[in-house]
Amino acid sequence: MAIFTTEIYDERFYTLVGTKFQLDELFSNAVWAEGPVWLPQQQTVIFSDVKGNTLYRWTKQNGTQVLRSPSYFANGNTLDMEGNLITCEHGRRAISKTDKQGNVQILVDKLEGKRFNSPNDLVVKSDGTIWFTDPPYGILSDSEGKKSPSEIIGCYVYCYDPKTDEINIATFNVMRPNGLAFSQDEKQLFVADMSVVEFEKEGLHHLVVFDVEGKRLKNRRNVAEINPGIPDGLQIDKQGVIYCSCESGILVLLSDGTYLGRFIVGKTTSNCTFGDNQKTLFITSSNSLYKLTIE
């Protein structure tokens, strides 16, 4: 069992989250673990080692096994409405789909003939549209992609409709968009803005929220400044509680910005995803995949 601590800032943490917690390390041989997604039918977690250029799968029975290597520097992963794996690829600067038979195809890699930077994280709305972020981290060096000039000259949140093959910029109004998650009613989209990575004085390390209007995002508001470090991947449970990665672990907060508490993993944390009943949280943190059990 991994050793970790919790910090409680608001008594509502106990009623909204839980009272007993256990953190277990499932894997520790990644270079930079990211993008976990839970496949309920297979009882499997798929996650990326971005800098290791590998996709892994973990099951209770078999532990961690290589799913795909090389992975085109895969980062964020999610499932579409049919249960296919949808992946952000830094290497091909694309969004790909892996069907249940293991066939892989690129869904989208350009806007008006211009290649994306390096798609990073994504979510699928109940209407089947794929919303994703496109910061430059896969083209800044060869460590998690291929060093290349940007063709887009900007970092945006996109909405792609696989039914019509249409792609549009959902908002221009995030300098360095990264992780994202819909509210339960899908009327809002929460986005991590981590521009402080490039701009130490002027940049942000904030969680922000937009209203969803069709395939566009409107009315940006700040939710909270995320400390320590930066916000990256996040999840929102059925009660609207937000679990946001940060430098020390997972910060737990409400949509009004109230900090409820924190799970301290002790190293930089990139992302998380719920298991079947939202009482299990799989966490990617630095070189590791963890399972947090909540009671």
Residues belonging to the binding site for a divalent metal cation are 34, 178, 232
For 109-139, letters b (16+ CB in 10 Å) and e give bebeeebbbbbbbbbbbeeebbbbbbbbbbb
Q: Which residues are annotated as a binding site?
A: 34, 120, 178, 232
Please list the alpha-helical segments (H only) found in the chain: 12-16
Question: CB within 8 A of 63, min separation 6: which ones?
Answer: 26, 27
For the question of residue 232 being annotated catalytic, the response is yes
CA–CA dist 132, 167 (Å, integer)? 11
Please give the angle made by the CA atoms of 45, 46 and 49, to the nearest 5 degrees.
130
Q: Which secondary structure element, helix H or strand E, spans residue 290, and what is its range?
A: strand 288-294
CA–CA dist 34, 260 (Å, integer)? 24
Instruction: Name the active-site residue from 121, 134, 193, 232.
Output: 232
Tell me if 129 sits within 8 A of 161, measured CB to CB.
yes
In sequence order, what DSSP letters do the residues of 146-167 get, joined into one string? -----SS-S--EEEEETTTTEE
Q: Checking DSSP bridges between strand 21-27 and strand 288-294, what pairing results, if any?
A: antiparallel
Amino acid present at 237? D
Amino acid present at 180? L
CA–CA dist 177, 187 (Å, integer)? 19
Tell me if 284 sits within 8 A of 235, measured CB to CB.
no
CA–CA dist 118, 133 (Å, integer)? 9
Q: Which residues are annotated as a binding site for substrate?
A: 120
Active site residues: 232
